[in-house]
Structures are given as C-alpha cells and as structure tokens.
C-alpha cells in the first residue's frame, strides 16, 4: 500500500469517528480509540477498500455485508467487553468486529454465521452477533453463561433494531434498543411457513 493510500485511510478513519460516530452518540473514548487504530479497509474485499469507511453496509458476497461503522460502534458500546471476558463473535463474513473486541483485551472466539446457527461449542460471557437475526437459536442461547450478555441486530416485522439481552434462569430475552439499518444474516431467518 502506498504512503498516500495509508494517509487517505487514516483520514477516512478520523472522519468516520468525527462525522459518523461522535455525532450519533458513540463517544466512549476506549471504543473510539480502538476504531481509530484498526484499519477497517483490511477487513473488506480488495475491490471494496475504497468504501470501507462509508456510512452504510459494505457487501462481502454470499448475501453478507459488513455493517456500517455506526452499527458496529453502537454494538460494541452496548457490549462493553471487558478484559478477560470470553466473547463469541458471530461473524458476518468479516472479522473486523472480532478484531475490535480482541483489541480491548477480551478472549475472542469467532464463529461464522452458518456455524453459529447450527450449534456452538463452549460457554461465553458475551456473544456479539455482527448482523441482524430473526430469532435466537437455542444453541446460541445455550452458549451463554448464566447472567451472560448478548448484543445483536434483531429483525421484527422487516425492521432491524439493535438489541441486547441477558441469560436469566436459563433463557434469553432480547430487548430492542434502537432502529438501525443492520444487515440481516440469512442463517438466522425463521423458516417460512404457509398461512391464511
């Protein structure tokens, strides 16, 4: 990568923080510092590197997309991973969010969406789903410790919302927090049924 490209990407990261994150209420200094250090362009296909910092999802192929920086900033702010937390990041096809969580000192395991929808091994303090889901599979809920947290996008009647939940008495309920344009993970769709 040329020096000019490196400078342009550094300027784009700063602009992402100043004009997308800060103005939308993402102001946690630990989060902004992590997003300011990590080269988002390294986590998208080569042809999309010029779009890595735009304020919308970046297509990754196979029906997946890297959520917009604001979505990932809000997710990370809600998740608030702590050093030493065992964190499962359900990947949208890019490991950018997992790299951010790891940079904060958490012990990160990455699971592709298809693998996470089918079943998870291990038990985690925190699960962050890098996309929107229509339902929380039992296998995903079962991978949380009692009292463990989950942050995800949630699809309700075609609208995606940032949502968070906690495992209490063996079950997880998600609470929608804010409407956001979060790419849907097709692996977590509710099977379509016929009805009148």
Long-range contacts of 93-96 (CB under 8 A, 24+ apart): 93/60, 93/61, 93/62, 93/64, 93/65, 93/66, 94/43, 94/44, 94/60, 94/66, 94/130, 95/43, 96/38, 96/40, 96/43, 96/44, 96/66, 96/72
| Beta-carbon contacts of residue 79 (< 8 Å; ≥ 6 apart) | 87, 101, 126, 128, 149, 151
Burial of 42 (0-12, 13-18, 19+ CB in 10 A): middle
| Beta-carbon contacts of residue 94 (< 8 Å; ≥ 6 apart) | 43, 44, 60, 66, 130
pTM of the model: 0.90
- Helices of type H across 60-181: 69-79, 96-103, 113-118, 138-142
Q: Quickly tell me which residue has 């809920």 as its tokens.
A: 141
Q: Give the H or E element holding residue 119.
A: none
Domains and CATH numbers, the chain: 56-188 (3.40.50.150)
13 and 33 Cβ atoms separated by less than 8 Å: no
Predicted pLDDT at 138: 85
Strand partners, 58: 66
CA distance 93 to 43: 9
Predicted pLDDT at 190: 77
Per-residue pLDDT tens digits of the chain, which is 196 residues long:
544 455 588 999 999 999 999 999 999 999 999 999 999 999 999 999 999 999 999 999 888 999 999 999 999 999 999 999 999 999 999 999 999 999 999 999 999 998 888 888 889 999 999 999 998 888 888 999 999 999 999 999 889 999 999 999 999 999 999 999 999 999 988 766 666 6
Closest CA to 162 of 43, 68, 58, 36: 68
Angle made by CA atoms 26, 93, 46, in degrees to the nearest 5: 90
Predicted pLDDT at 32: 96
């Amino acid at each position: 990568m040329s020096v000019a490209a490196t400078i342009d990407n550094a300027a784009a990261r700063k602009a992402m923080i100043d004009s997308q994150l800060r103005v939308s209420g993402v102001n946690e200094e630990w989060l902004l510092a992590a997003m300011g250090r990590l080269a988002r362009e390294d986590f998208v296909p080569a042809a999309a590197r010029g779009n890595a910092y735009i304020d919308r999802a970046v297509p990754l192929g196979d029906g997946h997309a890297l959520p917009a920086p604001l979505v990932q900033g809000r997710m990370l702010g809600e998740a608030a991973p702590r050093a030493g937390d065992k964190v499962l990041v359900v990947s949208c096809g890019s490991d950018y969010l997992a790299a951010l969580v790891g940079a904060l000192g958490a012990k990160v395991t990455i699971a592709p969406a298809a693998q996470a929808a089918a079943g998870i091994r291990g038990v985690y303090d925190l699960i962050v789903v890098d996309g929107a889901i229509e339902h929380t599979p039992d296998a995903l809920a079962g991978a949380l410790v009692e009292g463990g947290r989950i942050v995800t996008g949630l699809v309700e009647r075609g609208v995606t919302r940032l949502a968070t939940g906690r495992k209490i008495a063996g079950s997880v309920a998600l609470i929608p927090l804010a409407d956001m344009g979060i790419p849907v993970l097709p692996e977590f769709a509710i099977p379509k049924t016929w009805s009148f």
